[in-house]
Structure 1
Amino acid sequence: MDAAHFSSGPSRRRVGLTAGFFLFVFFCGLISLSCAGRLPVSRQKLEVQKHLNRLNKPPLKSIKSPDGDIIDCVHISHQPAFDHPFLKDHKLQMRPSYHPEGLYDQKKVSTGNKERGKPITQLWHMNGRCPEDTIPIRRTKKEDVLRASSVKRFGKKRHRSIPQPRSADPDLINQSGHQHAIAYVEGDKYYGAKSTMNVWEPKIQQPNEFSLSQIWLLGGSFGEDLNSIEAGWQVSPDLYGDNNTRLFTYWTSDAYQATGCYNLLCSGFIQVNSEIAMGASISPVSAYRNSQYDISILVWKDPKEGNWWMQFGSGYVLGYWPSFLFSYLADSASMIEWGGEVVNSESDGQHTSTQMGSGHFPEEGFGKSSYFRNIQVVDSSNNLKAPKGIGTFTEQSNCYDVQTGSNGDWGHYFYYGGPGRNPNCP
């Protein structure tokens, strides 16, 4: 029925038919809209449940942590990594062939973190441990996935969240909403990195923001093909549903687009350790003008097998990233970064008050500010050594800052962090 029928004075009967037709179409449209509204919800529920089934493998034992987490002890051969099509026939490597400075020898690696006499544990240890031949996996809950923008984005960082100290365009740097205070080295081939960092529980302003402290091992350009391996501690209400400080890892081979994830939330990192759970709470944490607790993290490339291994503390060799996951990092890293990162969402038009590190500036020093000490790199001969030509970078030093130093006990070190919003950082 076209517009000409209306302009030529149609009969009342025809108008009635036309009106009836449009009413019919209108109500059909309402019905289909309400159906369409329901379909995505049911489809989302199905997608979420499928994703949970993929992530949460059948446990041999489950442990309830005091913080509400459930830690599943999953057989080592059933972990999420082996869902990767390239890992179907992978021969599990239970230990690295080489450790920095020589052949790997379990006897030389102590158990636990005894570096400063203040042991760091995970909260779930209070209620049990996982048996041999299993790995502890933090169970993913439905509400964890629903907090993400989509099932596909669950467990992933936002694009462009790596500090780019070489960029000359601050607008390009800040458009991601991520801010950093880091020390870095570049210009060589790096086969690993190590540092000891004190652990805090920074305050987060918005649930969609986070605060973390970590090591980055980077390969490639800062474009779409960037490779990154990351490890450290973080507070992320969006990812975990609380404000606890947690051990984490991350990897990507395409600048956070499609590949990689936090912890074991996708196939990639292969865990071999039954003591430490990725994404589980760290306890205790440092207190301002009080006891300081720190953790050591070492990531290095096994010269024989080519995989990137991670060690936590002075004794826990946690597992490895197979080299095939990467393009540039299949060979070596071209840049190492140590330091802090926060999300600045500026939700109220002002800079976030999310804290980095302790929430205090570097000049306050030990017991008040956050630090990385004994920072080292692994060279082509698989030796740990002091880095040369350390640079520093921060987008807004009035919000978060970094200061380097060097002495006999701490080697190369730096203090970093800050409170975010303050009179000089509006």
Structure 2
Amino acid sequence: MRAIHQHLRKINKPSVKTIHSPDGDIIDCVLLHHQPAFDHPRLRGQKPLDPPERPRGHNKRKGLRPKSFQLWRMEGETCPEGTIPIRRTKEEDILRANSVSSFGKKLRHFQRDTSSNGHEHAVGYVSGEKYYGAKASINVWAPQVQNQYEFSLSQIWIISGSFGNDLNTIEAGWQVSPELYGDNYPRFFTYWTNDAYQATGCYNLLCSGFVQTNSQIAIGAAISPSSSYKGGQFDVTLLIWKDPKHGNWWLEFGSGILVGYWPSFLFTHLREHASMVQYGGEVVNSSPFGAHTSTQMGSGHFAEEGFTKSSYFRNIQVVDWDNNLVPSPNIRVLADHPNCYDIQGGSNRAWGNYFYYGGPGKNPKCP
């Protein structure tokens, strides 16, 4: 318990205002320069950077305002200018983890053949070029997760390095993770690692790394509304790109809402560029040798069901060497276990490059 309380003191920073969210979250409004990122020796005493030049071809649509898609904003509460909202970590959050040191981390798993380690993917990907960012719109669902040790997420991965110990990734999307958050709400999240998920990196702001610049979005907070089967579809747009001037990787959410950046010094290979971009879903099957998990990916329905029933990524793009947003060329699709979760790609004028993906997990073809 002493180790847990010590860790809580480290990550929960003093706040100038506290907001109680309807879902039970406590959101602390923390001064910009007191956020966890500035515990990093390379950032100590610094201020967040000014916004970078956005990629060409990126139009900031008028659309979602931040208060309309996170539960903590529903009653009109906001954090004052000069602060950022941080979801407070509680004792019980850390107690759900395997250990204090593993709290807020993804366990190492990133091999392309994921049949043996319980992580299953249905993804679209591009590789073989130099990539400087990615963008897509993803519809949000609230998939059922079978138990506390599993999660279901939909995200963009920016990847460089080999799939050995030097893998660098930047990740952002939405996830349902009872272990991390203690509930089944879909939540906006970020992640990074520079050593294949071994010792570095974390979710959200649970270690020093990602620098948040936005006072209106809480990373790790619940997204609302979500899509409904045969009903309204709710999607969010994510853009991650490398600032040509300073080399940091920035994240934008929705229509023109800059969330913050990953400093380039966190990485080795990603200091230069990415060699692969992935888009899609991932679940944990915690019993890979027994009956398959019934944890759903996306909507819990297969790709062939299509619009309003299946999950999708649309307007899939990458950022090229000259900071232009361009359609993802030669996007390939891959499902580790297509009888459990599958994927189907396509393209048209309205949606550009897109794919449907997901599935129910356990079913007669996926016993």
TM-score tier, shorter chain, comes to over 0.9
Q: Which residue of structure 2 aligns with residue 290 of structure 1?
A: 231
State how far apart, in whole Å, the 2-side matches of 1:90 and 1:77 are: 7
Q: Which residue of structure 2 aligns with residue 227 of structure 1?
A: 168
SS at match of 1:239: helix
- Which residues of 2 match residues 1-400 of structure 1 at below 5 A? 45-96=1-52, 98-101=53-56, 109=60, 112-113=63-64, 120-127=68-75, 128-160=77-109, 162=110, 164=112, 170=113, 173-346=114-287, 349-400=290-341
* 1:130-155 deviation per Cα after TM superposition (whole angstroms, max 9, x unaligned): 01000000000000001110100000
Amino acid in structure 1 at the alignment position of 2:78: R
Aligned length, in residue pairs:
366
* 1:350-381 deviation per Cα after TM superposition (whole angstroms, max 9, x unaligned): 00000000000000000000000000000000
Amino acid in structure 2 at the alignment position of 1:78: H
Give the deviation of 1:208 after TM superposition. 0.7
Pair 111,74 (structure 1): closer, same or farther in 2 beyond 3 Å: farther
Amino acid in structure 2 at the alignment position of 1:94: D
- Runs of 5+ in structure 2 lacking a partner? none
Amino acid in structure 2 at the alignment position of 1:233: W
* 1:231-277 deviation per Cα after TM superposition (whole angstroms, max 9, x unaligned): 00000000000000100000000000000000000000000000000
Give the deviation of 1:113 after TM superposition. 2.3
State how far apart, in whole Å, the 1-side matches of 2:288 and 2:129 are: 40
- Runs of 5+ in structure 1 lacking a partner? 1-44, 165-169
Give the deviation of 1:95 after TM superposition. 1.3
Amino acid in structure 2 at the alignment position of 1:55: I
Give the deviation of 1:119 after TM superposition. 8.6
State how far apart, in whole Å, the 1-side matches of 2:111 and 2:134 are: 17
- For the 8 Å contact 2:187–2:223, the answer to whether it is kept is yes
State how far apart, in whole Å, the 2-side matches of 1:241 and 1:112 are: 30
Give the deviation of 1:163 after TM superposition. 5.9
State how far apart, in whole Å, the 2-side matches of 1:391 and 1:110 are: 28
Amino acid in structure 1 at the alignment position of 2:96: R
Give the deviation of 1:109 after TM superposition. 4.4
Between Structure 1 and Structure 2, which shows a larger proportion of helix residues? Answer: 1
Amino acid in structure 2 at the alignment position of 1:342: V
Q: Identity over aligned residues, as a percent?
A: 62
Give the deviation of 1:94 after TM superposition. 3.0
State how far apart, in whole Å, the 2-side matches of 1:195 and 1:163 are: 24
- For the 8 Å contact 2:116–2:288, the answer to whether it is kept is no
Give the deviation of 1:126 after TM superposition. 2.0
Amino acid in structure 2 at the alignment position of 1:60: V
Amino acid in structure 1 at the alignment position of 2:103: F
Q: Which residue of structure 2 aligns with residue 36 of structure 1?
A: none
Give the deviation of 1:90 after TM superposition. 3.2
TM-score, length-scaled by structure 2: 0.97
Give the deviation of 1:112 after TM superposition. 4.9
* 1:172-198 deviation per Cα after TM superposition (whole angstroms, max 9, x unaligned): x22221000000000000000000000
Q: Which residue of structure 2 aligns with residue 16 of structure 1?
A: none
State how far apart, in whole Å, the 1-side matches of 2:3 and 2:253 are: 34
- For the 8 Å contact 1:235–1:244, the answer to whether it is kept is yes
Pair 109,396 (structure 1): closer, same or farther in 2 beyond 3 Å: closer
SS at match of 1:85: coil
State how far apart, in whole Å, the 1-side matches of 2:313 and 2:103 are: 29
State how far apart, in whole Å, the 2-side matches of 1:310 and 1:422 are: 37
Give the deviation of 1:91 after TM superposition. 4.0
Pair 52,119 (structure 1): closer, same or farther in 2 beyond 3 Å: closer
Give the deviation of 1:60 after TM superposition. 0.3
SS at match of 2:135: strand
TM-score, length-scaled by structure 1: 0.84
Pair 227,304 (structure 1): closer, same or farther in 2 beyond 3 Å: same
- For the 8 Å contact 1:232–1:297, the answer to whether it is kept is yes
- For the 8 Å contact 2:188–2:219, the answer to whether it is kept is yes
Give the deviation of 1:120 after TM superposition. 4.7
State how far apart, in whole Å, the 1-side matches of 2:329 and 2:111 are: 19
State how far apart, in whole Å, the 2-side matches of 1:176 and 1:76 are: 39
Q: Which residue of structure 2 aligns with residue 42 of structure 1?
A: none
State how far apart, in whole Å, the 1-side matches of 2:318 and 2:26 are: 36
State how far apart, in whole Å, the 1-side matches of 2:115 and 2:43 are: 38
- For the 8 Å contact 2:68–2:74, the answer to whether it is kept is no
SS at match of 2:42: helix
